[in-house]
Amino acid sequence: MVFKRRTKRSFRQTIVEAVYPRGGWLRAISYIVHRLRRLPDKPHRIARGVAAGIFVSFTPFFGFHLVIAAALAWVLRGNMVAALLSTLVGNPLTFPLIMSVSVELGYWLLHEPNPMHLSQIVRAFTRASIELWDNMRALLTGRDTHWQSLAWFFRRVFWPYTVGGIIPGIVLGLAGYYLSLPVVAAYQKRRSKRLRERVEKLRAARAARAEGPGPRPADKGQEG
């Protein structure tokens, strides 16, 4: 395979690079911005995709962010690739802050007492994932299923997270739209100008070659 790694990454390397990419997060962010600017689409469609990806990053649908972002970009008539790239706003460094803000805001909007701390939220997601997996296996093997913990998780964590993530998701999604729109438009304008200048230079060079070399000075003297 042409694009296959020569040396496979170990499980530890995969986990470490998921938390801290090779080259650092600044390099990863600059790469994403570079890819967004070079997408072959209209600036407003790319900006809509950016807004969709950022908004989805504030939802608790872990494992489905890419699918939801692509679907939302399609509904908004935005660029799907831009939406997929922009979901990286939610990453191992930002998710603790996103979780804490969204759940606390959700508790406040729903008038729920005793908001949960980050460590409690993470443990709740872990327990819910394990119980969901056990219940899926139980359905296939005929064993009894238990949904009590999942019901508590939905009421105390998932629903407040969903409600609380809407406002910051919309605000930062709109910020991403209005910030990316002029950046992409300016980049595409500069790139189009450079391409036009390159084409004009090629045309001028071809025209000069077509005219051929002029008469040499010795030839002019002989003609006289």
What pLDDT, in 10s, does the model give residues 152-177? Answer: 889 899 999 999 999 999 999 999 99
Dihedral of CA atoms 194, 200, 206, 207 in degrees, nearest 10, equals -160
Mean pLDDT in the chain?
A: 79
User: Is there a domain that residue 171 lies in?
Assistant: yes
Find how far residue 196's CA is from the centre of its chain: 31
User: Is there a domain that residue 206 lies in?
Assistant: no
User: Tens digits of per-residue pLDDT, 1-12?
Assistant: 333 445 555 544
User: Tens digits of per-residue pLDDT, 170-207?
Assistant: 999 999 999 989 988 888 788 778 777 777 777 777 77
User: Is there a domain that residue 196 lies in?
Assistant: no
User: Is there a domain that residue 204 lies in?
Assistant: no
Q: What is the pLDDT of residue 27?
A: 57
User: Is there a domain that residue 208 lies in?
Assistant: no
Question: Both tokens of residue 153?
Answer: 């998780």
Overall domain count for the chain: 1
User: Is there a domain that residue 210 lies in?
Assistant: no
Claim: this prediction has a pTM higher than 0.75: no
User: Is there a domain that residue 97 lies in?
Assistant: yes
User: Is there a domain that residue 129 lies in?
Assistant: yes
User: Tens digits of per-residue pLDDT, 54-103?
Assistant: 999 999 998 899 999 999 999 999 988 889 888 988 888 889 999 999 99
Quote the domain boundaries for residue 137.
12-187
Give me the long-range contacts of 94-103 (CB less than 8 A, separation at least 24).
94/57, 98/57, 98/58, 98/165, 98/168, 99/161, 101/164, 101/168, 102/58, 102/60, 102/160, 102/161, 102/164, 102/165, 102/168, 103/157, 103/160, 103/161, 103/164
